[in-house]
Amino acid sequence: MFLGIDIGTSEVKALLLNDQHQAIATAGSTLEVSRPHPGHSEQDPASWWTATCIALQKLQQQHPAEYAAVQAIGLSGQMHGAVLLDQADQVLRPAILWNDTRCALECEEMMAELPSAAQLAGSLIMPGFTAPKLRWVAKHEPAVFAQVAKVLLPKDYVRLMLTGEHITDLSDASGTAWLDVAQRAWSPALLALTRMTVAQMPRVVEGSAPGGHLSASVAAQLGLKPGIVVAGGAGDNASSAVGMGAVNAGEGFLSLGTSGVLFVVTPTFAPNAASATHAFCHAVPATWHQMSVMLSAASCLQWAKQAFGAASEAELEAKAAALSFEERAAAPLFLPYLSGERTPHNQPLATASWVGMTAAHGREALAYAVAEGVAFGLRDGLQTLGSSEPALQSLSLVGGGARDAWWAQLLSDALGLRLSVEPLPA
């Protein structure tokens, strides 16, 4: 038996898995996000550990024999969060999360000071990343910054609770803007931008490598065997890719949730930071991935549902699907920038609009335009990823937006790729 723990933003989830890759049970415990000021997003790291213990207790109660037979633990979780620890591993302040935007100025300063930063980090330095958060803390909370002995990512704080060790994996480390992604090692030049050192970083391991062992005291607390291995694990998107079998070059997925993510595995480090793509280490050795991110994807349909007074997104999709070819061709164009845009424009102030709308257009045509606009926006992102070897032929389609076959076909047509809602073959 194996145990998976995912430290999300809204929930900690735990999975009990057998050696045939069959899910035996899942359990979760919700989390709260604090927003003390506009643009701020924080969580208490202690809440992750509390929620983890609650989720594991639920699994133990549901399947005591299988739970007791767990032989290894895997970790995944939200990326980019900054957990600041002192010399005694005490948390110095609430963790600053991935969706916190307070450090936009610090990002600009870092890029100006080290123009090669994007090439080293595989991405432009953005407010969501970990490194600029520390630069903000140094500027605005100098007393806290002076005490920082270690910086951990969210899932790795839970690892610390499990094992007593400061370790992270390379996929999660890629999202800090401190990693030399090509070399798969911490970059002294990037660290210097935030007055940090390698000594303040956790040890990095491959996602498939051991990342510590369960301590005896915690094993007794959780009802598990002491000394079982805790895997290096992965950040959320790399973990999703592994779960779908996307581990070889040319494989990948399209995640159609609130945002839209195109994830493609590459055999080498292939950055294109100018187009706001991410080139990060994958969670398997000697492998990287490219990722484009569209800030509003399925959320565009949710917005349209509310704006048009529809009962559901499915109702809108059905109306759009009923349009004739000529009616679709005559529909206006929709620019899907309801929350700005990242790839390829890197423009957080971009706004959405319909182009070519006339009095002849009803809400069916507008709904079609919204779905098509998201598809074209994802096509923009795909074109930034460049060519891969072997050539990209298909993607797995996941997320809430993957449920509608009509929209899936529209996306497939726009991308020029086969989309499958089934996992990739192992």
Between CA 75 and CA 80 the distance in angstroms is 15
Between CA 329 and CA 322 the distance in angstroms is 13
Query: Helix, strand, coil: what percent of the chain each, to 5?
Result: 40, 25, 40
Token pair in block for residue 65: 């024999």
151 close to 201: Cβ distance less than 8 angstroms: yes
Amino acid at 413: D
CB atoms within 10 A of CB 20: 5
Between CA 37 and CA 102 the distance in angstroms is 9
Between CA 176 and CA 169 the distance in angstroms is 11
Token pair in block for residue 35: 């927003």
Between CA 75 and CA 378 the distance in angstroms is 29
Between CA 80 and CA 211 the distance in angstroms is 19
Q: Does the annotation mark 236 as catalytic?
A: yes
Beta-strand pair 229-231/210-213: antiparallel
Alpha helices (H) along 261-312? 298-308
Which one, of 360, 377, 372, lies nearest residue 328 by Cα?
372
Amino acid at 247: V
In angstroms, what is the C-alpha Rg of the chain?
Answer: 22
Q: Which of 6, 100, 169, 236 is catalytic?
A: 236
Beta-strand pair 229-231/234-235: unpaired
Active site residues: 236
